[in-house]
Amino acid sequence: MKRIRTAKGRKVSSTRWLERQLNDPYVKRARAENYRSRAAFKLIELDEKFGFLKGTRAIVDLGIAPGGWSQVVRRRLPQSNVVGIDLLPTDPIDGVTILQMDFMDESAPDKLREALGGPADLVLSDMAANTVGHPQTDHLRTMGLVEAGLQFATEVLKPGGAYVAKVLAGGADNNLVAEMKRHFTTVKHAKPPASRKDSSEWYVVAQGFKGTDDAAPPS
């Protein structure tokens, strides 16, 4: 295991982060396979389990920066049309349209639909709110992003489409799961191996979009 001396002016937490990065096998794989982040393997592992990438051609990537998920999509689906959005700048990716803006901006959904040029097969969301250190507040803020992503997904997906989103420990709450089940035939939670064990992140995978006219009424 590689260890780093605590440099003058560097916080202990920063040194621990650097050590973890240097010893993380997924970081090494990402470099070796030319992915921009280890998060690429989270998507790969989720797809290996649920198969939501198969047959997709139009994909929206919410929270695209730094671009690892879209890299996976384009490598696996070279003919796909991908549109991504993030508040942070993202270096260009061949075959991907990138919007640098806040997804929560009221004009963002229309701009995404315009860039996509039609309905989507898949909406991916690796968005997470900036943490403030208060678990309940952090959870609520991230769940707000998941709900906004779900609303967008129900407006843009083709029947049979899927929505995959990052959630936090405990997964989506009961009301959100109920809403997803109203719109999708299956809703499952998963924590891919590439997600660090000490991380609170999980993912919710909603597949089989019923279409806006076919959503079952709440029970």
Annotated binding-site members for S-adenosyl-L-methionine: 67, 69, 86, 102, 126
Give the pLDDT band (50/70/90) at residue 9.
low
List strand residue ranges (DSSP E) for the chain, in order. 58-62, 81-86, 96-100, 120-125, 157-167, 184-190, 202-209
Residue 53 lies in a domain: yes
Residue 17 lies in a domain: no
**Total structural domains within the chain:** 1
166 tagged catalytic: yes
Domain span at residue 148 reads 38-209
Residue 101 lies in a domain: yes
Active-site residue identified among 2, 28, 166, 197: 166
Residue 173: predicted pLDDT: 79
Annotated binding-site members: 67, 69, 86, 102, 126
Residue 9 lies in a domain: no
Q: The domain spanning residue 133 has which CATH number?
A: 3.40.50.150
Residue 22 lies in a domain: no
pTM, to two decimals: 0.85
Residue 205 lies in a domain: yes
Residue 126 lies in a domain: yes
What pLDDT digit, counting tens, does each position of 153-202 carry?
999 999 999 999 998 876 677 889 999 999 999 999 999 999 878 788 89
Residue 18 lies in a domain: no
Partner residues linked to 124 by β-bridges = 61, 164
Residue 95 has pLDDT above 90, yes or no: yes
Separation of CA 172 from chain center: 14
